[in-house]
Amino acid sequence: MMVKVRPFLFCLLLLAVASLSLGTKDPELKRCKHQCKALQQIGEHQRKECYEMCEKYDSEKQSKEEDTSTFFPYRGKEETGEEEEGQQYGEQERENPYVFEDQHFITGIKTQHGRIRVLPKFTERSKLLKGIENYRVAILEANPQTFIVPNHWDADAVLFVAQGRGTLNLVRRGKRNSFNIRPGDVIRVHAGTTAYLINRENNEKLVIAKLLNPVSTPGQFEHFFGPGGRENPESFYNAFSSEILESALNVRRDRLQRLFGQQREGVIIRASEEQIRAMSQHEEGGIWPFGGESKGSVNIYRQRPSQSNQYGQLYEVDGSHYRQLEDLDISVSFANITQGGMLGPVYSSRATKIAVVVDGEGYFEMACPHLASESGSRGRQSRGSERETRIGSGYQKVRARLRRGMVVIIPAGHPVVNVASNNQNLQLVCFNINARNNEIVPLAGRNNVMSQLEREAMELGFGVPAREVEEIFRSQQEELFFQGPGGRQQHQEGGRADA
């Protein structure tokens, strides 16, 4: 029997669905369903139809959206094996608050020559990320032969050059420091420093990943543009009255109107070859003028790897390598996982990692007690029993495919493993929050934490003889990087074929 919906009620349903068109994906889907729930004039059957309309509209909207990503484009299809595994990935990624893809970014600045994208506050995605809610991640992408207009931010920033070569200029304490940047460079930029840069390459984009720590409004930061016009970008000088500017700059009003009314091309603009050449006459790196002998940048690729074998390399930069990071309690690490290899399982004792996939494809798995407890709590509430919280009651496997441009959050203490695909390396740069005295604790391989336990502790903890525990946890002779499941399976199949 078909239930008829009166016209005015149908309009209410449309209003609920229309809320999806005002924003992006999951939060708007929840908002749409909330609108359905709030409609008092409809019955339960009609409310169910309203929920279904929300989901249908959201599904159609996502399928019609074009992939507009130009930064870190997705190159090729991830090898996931069986179709069931692909469906499993999809279901887990939809419920995963730790993974951010292209659609989660907000395009803050965009011109025909480049763009700056920013992730929203992490707590807008999940309260589980409250520990890093004051940090923001931004990605700058500039086309060849372009110039980024001078500006400053109300945030301390750590920059990582993921791709391309450019020249960065920083003006602070009455001095200007200019130095050429290249892939692998890590640069600290103090809040309030006027910064501008150029992409001096002819054919390659300049891509920089930024970690920002706002100093004014927690979790919020702004760009402030001095050079500019009435709009795009607007100069902050235009916020002052004409008589103030006349007195401060000691010039006539007509000249001020000309100066602050010309630039309309945007924040990222094309520069001539002569201008690029003139601003590129600097040494690689450079000497920092603010604080003695500390360098303006450090290149993580040129550091000695802290761990290295045939399956991967780990490079790290902290306050001992680069003094500019000391007061931020931040370090930067770079992992190059060889195709078919994997990093971990490991966990960080103190640091929460904000990882950006620089290149390659693969997947990661993480054990999360918080999602498991939320799921268990919902189950207990539905059963109306077991009010107490049980410690060690379980972990939820968080799993997602990784590809260029994705951002992954790995909280402190959470065991995690990253696996490269069988056809290319997986490269990750990690901004490590609370890095001071942090330790990477291996859960497998040489020197893993389980192999350090007393024999009695092994027997009591695992409920099997200590000899069996030792045999298992001391079988792997590599450290940190291992042959992944795909490479291991190929090796075993090759062995069977030879036999």
pLDDT computed for residue 263 by the predictor? 77
DSSP 3-state assignment of 8? helix
pLDDT computed for residue 467 by the predictor? 96
CB distance 53 to 9 below 8 Å: no
Cis-peptide into 233, omega within 30 deg: yes
CB distance 466 to 459 below 8 Å: yes
DSSP letter, residue 283: -
User: pLDDT digit string (tens) for 429-445?
Assistant: 999 999 999 999 999 99
User: How confident is residue 58, by pLDDT bands cut at 50, 70 and 90?
Assistant: low
CA-wise closest residue to 162 among 118, 206, 200, 119: 206
pLDDT computed for residue 19 by the predictor? 47
pLDDT computed for residue 56 by the predictor? 67
β-sheet bridge partners, residue 299 = 185
CB atoms within 10 A of CB 250: 7
Answer yes or no: is pLDDT of 73 > 60. Answer: no
H or E element that contains 492:
helix 485-498
CA-wise closest residue to 445 among 421, 481, 411: 481
Question: Higher model confidence: residue 116 or residue 383?
Answer: 116
User: pLDDT digit string (tens) for 291-327?
Assistant: 333 368 999 999 999 999 999 999 999 999 899 999 9
User: How confident is residue 388, by pLDDT bands cut at 50, 70 and 90?
Assistant: very low
pLDDT computed for residue 488 by the predictor? 61
DSSP 3-state assignment of 139? strand
Query: Could you tell me if residue 286 is left (phi over 0), alpha (psi between -120 and 50 degrees) or otherwise beta?
Result: left
CA-wise closest residue to 342 among 489, 495, 482: 482
Answer yes or no: is pLDDT of 287 > 50. Answer: no
pTM of the model: 0.77
Q: Quote the mean pLDDT of the chain.
A: 82
pLDDT computed for residue 341 by the predictor? 97
Instruction: Kindly state the tokens that stand for 376.
Output: 């268990």
Average pLDDT, integer, range 99-117: 92
